[in-house]
Amino acid sequence: MSRSLRLSAFALAAALMAAACGPAGTTVPPASGGPAASAPESSAGGSVAPGPAGSINVLSLWGGSEEKAFQAVLADFTAKTGVTVNYEADRQTYSTTLQSRITGGNPPDIAIIPGIGFLRRFAKDGSLKKISDLGVDTASLTANYPEGFLAAGTVDGELYAIPAKYNNKGTMWYRPDVYKDAGVTTNPSTWADYKAALDATKDKPGAMALGAKDDWNLTDWFESIYIRQAGVDAYDKLFSADGDWTDPTVQKDVDTMLEVINDNYVVGGIDAAVGRAWTDAIAQVFKPAPEAGTFYEGGFVGGIATGQTNTALVIGETIDWYPFPKINNTDEVTTFGGDVVGALTDSDGAKAFLQYVITPEANKVWASTGAIVSPNKGVDTSAYPNDLVKREAESLTSASAIRYDGSDLLPAGIAGEGLGALLQRAIRGDTIDWADFQTRVKAAWDAE
């Protein structure tokens, strides 16, 4: 071994030692010291010692512009109660993080839960605390929330979570300038009108953008069509434990979907769309030089498009939305998506947060950011900062029936291909074996 070799090895070792001693001595705190450290010693149930008074962990999946809006609410909460919040945002691996932390006996005090499937799992295994056990003023709850909304947080007749925000999933986003150039003067209100608008904008510069790599975009399509084509009652049944996926309405829904989601309309073709992220599809429509005129997804597209994709967008000129076209429905019906907030510990901070988040004041702070539509009845539409979200809020209150995003109602533990994966295949022209899916969905319901 040469001397230089030995010397450099020594230098390496020294460097590593220095690196180890330097920060390690002083920085273990970020893990154990910060305001984060309210981890209760034991996990589920029983006498959980509340963490250091005045601080809670909140885990949610909101990052970027959504996080900024929520931080405004958290700041107001801290100002009002003195409880500091350690906020963690995790979209991509949210379920892993939450499940790991619950299994490891280290749950966040408050979790924003994105799907009812999740809610049921954690409610049934006792990880989620019952709202009634947390000292929340139930009178103000029933006064401030429409009854259907509290159902979204209810498992086996017991309330476990409170609706935090919601979005209309019946919003068809489009470029008014593209429509105008193509001669589409009135917004389509029927399925036939809609196809006509796609035909008109086709190649000028393109009809529709689709980012189906995120397969929930496809389940949203499926649900939006289903509630309008098969009806609200059929919708309720399909996404419950009694649902029958072999029912002809299911395949009929897919057939209708394929009338617009095909190589003829989707910019770049179906093949490319299945490999494209949904945010890239938003960009195809709302970047400075658009490639397509229309993009379907929920109300949150507005915030992403104007806040991230292209800050130069002008409402009414280069971005706007109209209601998802009517199919068999005569009344306005729509699906909505939303997140619910629940407590995984019964610490004082967690109780204070839940009590706070149901107040109209908290919801007004949040609504004023323009990022959400509040389910709280105390929030007047004047609380919203722009026309896009104001109209979204109105559309939800004026609709004759609204229903929760169906795929979020399905059990979380379906083995193998989920609905989104099946639809990815369907738009590529595969024939779907609905009987097989029915078997697996049923098994997952039974296993809950």
Partner 1 sequence: MQADPPGGMERVAISSIGVAKPPAPPKQIGRRYDRTTLLFLGPPAILMAIFLIYPTIYTIALSFNRGRRGEFNEWVGFDHYINLLTGDKSFLDLSHFPPEGAIWNNVLWAVFYTTLVIFLGLVVAVLASRVRYESIIKAVVFLPMAIAATALAIIWNFVYAPDSNIGLLNAILSPVTDRGISFLGNPSLVNAALIAAGVWGSVGFATVILSAALKSIPSEILEAARVDGATERQVFFGIIIPMVSLPISVLAVTLLVNVVKLFDLIYVLTGGGPGVKSRVIAFTMYNDSIPGGQFGRGAAVAVIMLVLLIPIMAYNIRRFRSSRVT
Partner 2 sequence: MTAVAEPRASAHERTTSARIVRFLNKTPIHIALGIIAIIWLAPTVGLLVTSFRPRSDIQVTGWWESFLQFRYTLANYGEVLSGQGMLQAFINTFLIAVPSTLIPLVLASMAAYAFSWLHFPFRDGLFLLVVALLMIPVQVAFIPLLKLFAPTGLLNSYGAIWLTHTAFALPFGIFLLRNFFITLPRDLIEAARIDGSSTIGIFRTIVVPLSVPAIAAYGIFQFLWVWNDLLMALVFVQNGKAWPMTKAIQNLLSQYGTEWHLLAAGAFILMAVPLLVFFSLQRYFVQGLLAGSVK
| Contact between 283 and partner 2 per CB under 8 A | yes
| Contact between 32 and partner 2 per CB under 8 A | yes
| Contact between 125 and partner 1 per CB under 8 A | yes
The sign of the torsion formed by the CA atoms of 188, 299, 94, 272 equals: positive
Q: Is residue 74 within 8 Å of 46, Cβ to Cβ?
A: no
DSSP for 186-199? S---BHHHHHHHHH
Give the C-alpha separation, 220 to 226, whole Å. 10
Ramachandran region, residue 43 (left: φ > 0; alpha: ψ -120 to 50; beta: rest): alpha
| Contact between 91 and partner 1 per CB under 8 A | no
Per-residue x/- marks for partner 2, 105-144, CB under 8 A? xx--------------------------------------
Q: Which is nearer to partner 1, 292 or 372 (CB)?
A: 292
Stretch that binds partner 2, among 81-89, 129-137, 231-239, 340-348 (CB under 8 A): 81-89
Segments in 125-263 forming alpha helices (H): 138-144, 147-151, 176-181, 191-201, 216-229, 232-238, 248-260
Give the C-alpha separation, 167 to 372, whole Å. 7
Q: Among 3, 24, 46, 431, which residue interacts with partner 2 (rule: CB under 8 A)?
A: 24
| Contact between 63 and partner 2 per CB under 8 A | yes
Give the C-alpha separation, 389 to 397, whole Å. 13
| Contact between 85 and partner 2 per CB under 8 A | no
Q: Among 8, 103, 142, 400, which residue interacts with partner 1 (rule: CB under 8 A)?
A: 103
| Contact between 203 and partner 1 per CB under 8 A | no
| Contact between 95 and partner 1 per CB under 8 A | yes
Give the C-alpha separation, 111 to 61, whole Å. 9
Q: For residue 149, what are its two tokens?
A: 């909304």
Q: For residue 188, what are its two tokens?
A: 């389509």
| Contact between 14 and partner 2 per CB under 8 A | no
Q: Are strands 171-174 and 294-296 parallel, antiparallel or unpaired?
A: antiparallel
435 binds, among partner 1, partner 2, none (CB under 5 to 8 A by kind): none
Residues of this chain that bind partner 2 (CB under 8 A): 1, 5-6, 8-9, 12, 16-17, 19-20, 23-24, 27-28, 30-32, 34, 36-37, 39, 41-43, 57, 59, 63-64, 86-93, 96-97, 100-101, 103-106, 211, 277-280, 282-283, 287-289, 308-309
